Structure 1
């Protein structure tokens, strides 16, 4: 069973206390900035983890500023759509509501709160904070900084480094525990892109071998990781171990990565068929 750490109490609680009971996930994001994207990504991962156990989920977004731009950026990052909390009545018979936020945890209604640590983007060409931002890479009143302008809304001017490779950004964020701040720059994204490209090549190669089931021990380690307060770095550690395990058939490596990608959504099988 998936347990999450309730930031209100500091204690772990079941994410779905009633088996097959409807769970509402409400993401609270204040405007368009990297931390808001991390909030939405955390909510997206929580939804995917619950759905893997058959739990019905509905999701809502509360964002007082930059609502449309935030949704566009989230879609770019492979985050599935949210309902608009302003258009929905609360209490659809759900067994529990879970709030995901980077703000004060006592600002919301009933239900546990998943707190998300902030993200700092330091990848401006000048080496300092991106133009048009406050400290920590948060857009000031001038609007969204060019450094991470959203595709389709002004293009990727100024390099657009933060969202230039959305899957690499997603992997970089998954690699840090949710309770720890993230400091992003071009070097971090390049490292994540390199890791992602290597995994995609490996998956494409493993796919050419006879399929084998995910070993039960590996499946258990994966589920134990993500059911422990969404420990995504732990999930990635399991994948690294599977990649280098000397006695594991390539077909089992392939099925393991495809299985884990149902949660990670990194498009690990993208390069299938690309090898000669």
Structure 2
């Protein structure tokens, strides 16, 4: 299959998600201009809860890119403030406090984001289920992209662990008697690592995974800064179509990242078009891919 196919035949793409309640795909915004409420349900302070909030953030960004107004709320009865602070560190946009704040605003439907394990499924509305995310001291498997070791979705025989409260954003030390791990130097590396695994597959992270994600981010940011020095060119239509096809198909973020890898390596694309592609995709990914602009060559 060629890296870039023909654009889809339809004129108005629709973001569809897999409803965990029924197992069927449903439109995330059945009324094109109607308000959609996205409600994240998190009942702890761990990586799984953070992955729930990240999924909600990505859904909101994808809906807004399609022109759908969105109202986002958070149901987190335990350690709400700490979870919100951790989410902000990962560039997850703020959530409103209450469920009923959007009443009277023409809400079309509510979509609920829950954890696969232990999450309470709301009585009504489509449900997006998020698989667990855990830290492990075992080294993860090689990345399919060849960049560096990638997050593992294979249960295997790994030693799972969670750092002490307040440090759960950083991997645990290899030595169990060492002090808690230091805060992440670049939280976007954790965001990228979580985006690299399909939402329905469990994630097991370790220091090698974060290092690999940080290296990929540094490479992409440096490349984008170099491309930005060339004349701007529009995002090619077939590339834009591939990106939208990916995120409108149940938020397939690994497929979005694959498009960026193809764009990075395609020497036939003008540098200006590659830069604009990365900026366009980053409206969804929120990885700050243009942060190196203006830095010395």
Question: Is TM (by shorter chain) over 0.5?
Answer: yes
Kept after mapping to 1: 8 A contact 2:114/2:121: no
Q: Which runs of 5+ in 1 are unaligned?
A: 125-134, 150-156
Answering whether residue 182 of structure 2 is matched by residue 160 of structure 1, we say yes
Q: Secondary structure at the match of 2:180?
A: helix
Residues 9/106 of structure 1: CA separation in 2 closer, same or farther (3 Å cut): farther
CA distance in 2, matches of 1:31, 1:227: 29
Kept after mapping to 2: 8 A contact 1:8/1:105: no
Residues 17/86 of structure 1: CA separation in 2 closer, same or farther (3 Å cut): closer
**TM-score scaled to structure 1, two decimals?**
0.87
CA distance in 2, matches of 1:39, 1:138: 17
Deviation at 1:43, TM superposition (A): 0.2
Answering whether residue 65 of structure 2 is matched by residue 43 of structure 1, we say no
CA distance in 2, matches of 1:166, 1:91: 37
Kept after mapping to 1: 8 A contact 2:167/2:182: yes
User: What pairs up with 1:44-83 in 2 under 5 angstroms?
Assistant: 44-83=57-96
Deviation at 1:122, TM superposition (A): 1.8
Kept after mapping to 2: 8 A contact 1:31/1:65: yes
Kept after mapping to 2: 8 A contact 1:211/1:255: yes
Residues 21/89 of structure 1: CA separation in 2 closer, same or farther (3 Å cut): closer
Deviation at 1:164, TM superposition (A): 3.9
Deviation at 1:158, TM superposition (A): 2.1
Alignment correspondent of 2:219: 198
User: What pairs up with 1:80-159 in 2 under 5 angstroms?
Assistant: 80-85=93-98, 88=101, 92-103=105-116, 107-123=121-137, 136-138=160-162, 144=165, 146=167, 148=169, 158-159=180-181
Between Structure 1 and Structure 2, how many residues are aligned?
255
Kept after mapping to 1: 8 A contact 2:38/2:111: yes
Deviation at 1:246, TM superposition (A): 2.1
CA distance in 1, matches of 2:112, 2:268: 43
1:173 to 194, 207, 217: 194
Residues 147/263 of structure 1: CA separation in 2 closer, same or farther (3 Å cut): closer
CA distance in 1, matches of 2:280, 2:168: 34
Deviation at 1:64, TM superposition (A): 1.3
Residues 210/109 of structure 1: CA separation in 2 closer, same or farther (3 Å cut): same
Higher helix share: 1
CA distance in 2, matches of 1:105, 1:118: 11
Alignment correspondent of 2:155: none
CA distance in 2, matches of 1:28, 1:137: 23
Q: Secondary structure at the match of 2:226?
A: helix
Residues 66/137 of structure 1: CA separation in 2 closer, same or farther (3 Å cut): farther
Deviation at 1:138, TM superposition (A): 4.9
Deviation at 1:269, TM superposition (A): 0.1
Deviation at 1:91, TM superposition (A): 6.9
Deviation at 1:105, TM superposition (A): 6.6
Kept after mapping to 2: 8 A contact 1:3/1:229: yes
Deviation at 1:90, TM superposition (A): 5.8
Root-mean-square deviation over aligned CA pairs? 2.1
**TM-score scaled to structure 2, two decimals?**
0.81
Deviation at 1:165, TM superposition (A): 2.2
Kept after mapping to 2: 8 A contact 1:123/1:147: no
Kept after mapping to 1: 8 A contact 2:46/2:162: yes
